[in-house]
Amino acid sequence: MKISYDETRKLFRMVSSEMEYAFAVNQYGRLINLYWGAPNRSESDYDILLSYNPVIKPGPRGVQRAEYPSRDSFDFGEPCLRAAFDDGAETLRLVYSSHVISGGELRVTLRDEYYPLEVELVYTTWGDLPLVGRRAVIKNTGSEPVRLDSAKSAAFWLPYGRRWRLTHYAGDWASEYQKQQQLLTQSSLRLETSQLTDAAAHHTPFFALDADGGSTEELGEVYFGMLHWSGDFQMTFETQHTQQLDCLGVTGGVSDYMSRPVLCGGESFVTPLFTCGFSSRGFGHMSEILYDWQFDYILPRGDKTDKGHGERPIICNTWYPYEFDIDEKKLLDYIPKVKRIGGELFVIDDGWMSGRTNDRAGLGDWVADPKRFPGGLGKIADAVHDAGLLFGIWVEPEMVNPDSDLYRAHPDWILSEPNRNPLTMRSQYILDMSREDIRDWAIDWLDELIESAKLDYLKWDMNRQANELGLYALERAVSVKYMRSIEYIWRHINEKYPDLLLENCAGGGGRADFGMLGFADRMNRSDNADPIDVMTIHENYSTFFVPKLAGGAGNVSPSPNGINGRAVPLEFRIASGMTGSMSIGIDLLTADDATLERLKSAIAEFKLHRRALQNSYVYRIASVYDHSYQVLEYLERDKNEFTVFAFGHNLHQWDKQLPRFRMRGLDPDAVYESDGVRMSGAALMNIGIQLRLMGDYTSSVSFWHRV
């Protein structure tokens, strides 16, 4: 994306082949937003907007569509920044001071006309992708303290004169990322969370907007954005009726509900990144943009150097079959079974710590139970590695049980309110990770565990939220410092152990968000592995995340399922598991030979296509929201292979004759083959393929390759 500045017009432009973002400095020194959408031709295209625009009011009455709103005079919209000074003043008048363009980054400095407050707006781009990331660095340049009552990352303005439909994703534990859609009226709608430790299970910090709800998977303009933050956040969608033209602004950043940091002289507050993007070809192309961004720029370690080709190993995890009922003998007996079916990574989940035979004890004491693991973790690690497998383990660093040596030694380490009995949830308290001493303690024991247990993989979990944030939580900005500490620890682990695979889990998908995206090789999709529920969960998860990130203890889950008791045939569960990163949660010690052999053959087939599946776009050919069936196309980015997954349940007689399903994104001149059937890319996209799905728990997987 090219960044430019026209001195004559005082116009900033960021232009890619698909998107343009533009703003300018007006005659009063204020930054005004001009445009976000498909690219224009030249700077002169903006002369009409700069000379007169009914939505951008020049003159002393103030500015609407401010690039970084701060409650300037007669701007009544949602502000990004509110500050309280020592003399009681609470308004800001931010004017342009300077800017620097360096490669793909723009920095614009604003200063208040009177008070010693400086704001640096930072704009980030990624190659030619139609994306612009924004964050703000707010600095107290004086000597007296300044309280920030609101400090958002950015405001984005939609083209005026339209009615907008909002698409966002909300839910709860075991029902994450459920699609929500609504038309926005002249009002203010806010998405927010205030549970401290996670956000995504309840509101994923992501939005998409299309005019009048008219966009589809393949057609229409979609404006979208995501906040790179895993803690408490706010996104506000405010439609103002201005000069008879509807004007929608979107502001987003950390929540000010429980965070109003005080900046002493010289101190700064840095907001998280808030990225906006634009698709001119519907929601499907929006997903393509997000996939390219992750493959080429965001995913950690090997993905950055190998253009997204880093493959995820097949996991066998102890949680679903055994939960806390694990010991040395059982796990040593389990290892050959993992090897037999073709598993590659053996993971001990919760239950390995001292006294941890249920969820009421052991959290905080990160040593192996000497009674159940007399040889320690080292004996298990050696056996796993001797079998040619990778070894991993589960931890929950942010939590502590009352029944633990850690809590008995440090009862003051937990988040709690004075004169209240601290409340438990899942029999645990939350450690005050906003404190640097506790953060550093966590780093010390994690380093020791990773090295002593010879880990190849670490799964970080978090299983409760909080509303007891401790003394002076607002002024101490506990909710922000807490999450900054979590990011600090993850960054430390990534840098110190570059070959260690990491899974981000938070009671399932509680932190499946863009804040954690750059730290983890897998992001737990949900604790719910019931494949019927997964039809909805995965369709939405894969709307914005590449499917190889779709973690969890058992993509191929046990039956009956522990979430809802549903019994599902093995074939359906295997097909469902292939859509994600492929992990096995079945009890291999009690499984019969037929089950083990079927898992072995399925894993072998998956490995043949894994490189393509894990480097593919996902197209929603038929949505589970519209039918009793679902069809997903996984198209490798070089268009040499594609896979069609089809799932059906509760199909009726009138569903027997399904339509031909037209593929997307193929090379029209290429010829593709599957099981002896050959079709051109053009025919696959224009004529389509026939699938047969009948009754309940019916699935189909077909692999196609370029001839």
At 621-643, the pLDDT tens digits run 999 999 999 999 999 999 999 99
Q: 3-class SS at 137?
A: strand
Q: How many CB atoms lie within 10 A of CB 303?
A: 20
Average pLDDT over residues 103-130: 97
pLDDT at 307 (0 to 100): 46
Which positions ≥6 away from 290 have C-beta within 8 Å? Answer: 277, 544, 545
Residue 654 pLDDT level (bands cut at 50, 70, 90): low
Nearest alpha carbon to residue 666 among 703, 701, 632, 706: 706
Give the SS3 label for residue 505: coil
State the pLDDT at residue 242: 61
Strands lying side by side in the sheet with 11-15: 2-6, 11-15, 20-25, 31-37
Single out the residue of 597, 589, 608, 696 nearest to residue 651, CA to CA.
696
Residue 310 has a pLDDT of: 82
Q: pLDDT band for 470, please (50, 70, 90 cuts).
A: confident
CB 200 within 8 A of CB 540: no
Which runs of E-coded beta strand occur in 472-612?
Answer: 501-504, 522-524, 550-551, 583-584
- Which tens digit of pLDDT belongs to each residue from 666-703? 999 999 999 999 999 999 999 999 999 999 999 999 99
User: pLDDT > 70: what percent of the chain?
Assistant: 95
Structure confidence at residue 303 as a pLDDT band (50, 70, 90): low
How much is the pTM?
A: 0.96
Whether the predicted pLDDT of 472 surpasses 80: no
Q: In which band, very low, low, confident or very high, does the pLDDT at 57 lie, cut at 50, 70 and 90?
A: very low
Residue 63 scores a pLDDT above 80: no
CA distances from 228 to 256, 276, 446 (A): 16, 11, 25
**Band of pLDDT at residue 58, cut at 50, 70 and 90:** very low
- For 524, phi then psi, to 5°, come to -55, 125
Model confidence over 387-444: pLDDT tens digits?
999 999 999 999 999 999 999 999 999 999 888 899 999 999 999 999 999 999 999 9
Name the phi and psi angles at 241, rounded to 5.
Answer: -100, 105
- How far apart CA 108 and CA 124 sit, in angstroms, is 12
Whether cis (ω within 30° of 0) applies to the bond prior to 547 is no
pLDDT per residue as tens digits for the range 523-542: 999 999 999 999 999 999 99
pLDDT for the residue numbered 192: 94
Which one-letter amino acid corresponds to residue 28? Answer: Y
Block residue for tokens 């009956």:
560
Pinpoint the alpha helices (H) of 627-672: none
Beta bridge partners of 535: none
Residues 581-623: pLDDT tens digits? Answer: 999 999 999 999 999 999 999 999 999 999 999 999 999 999 9
In 10 A of CB 281, how many CB atoms? 18
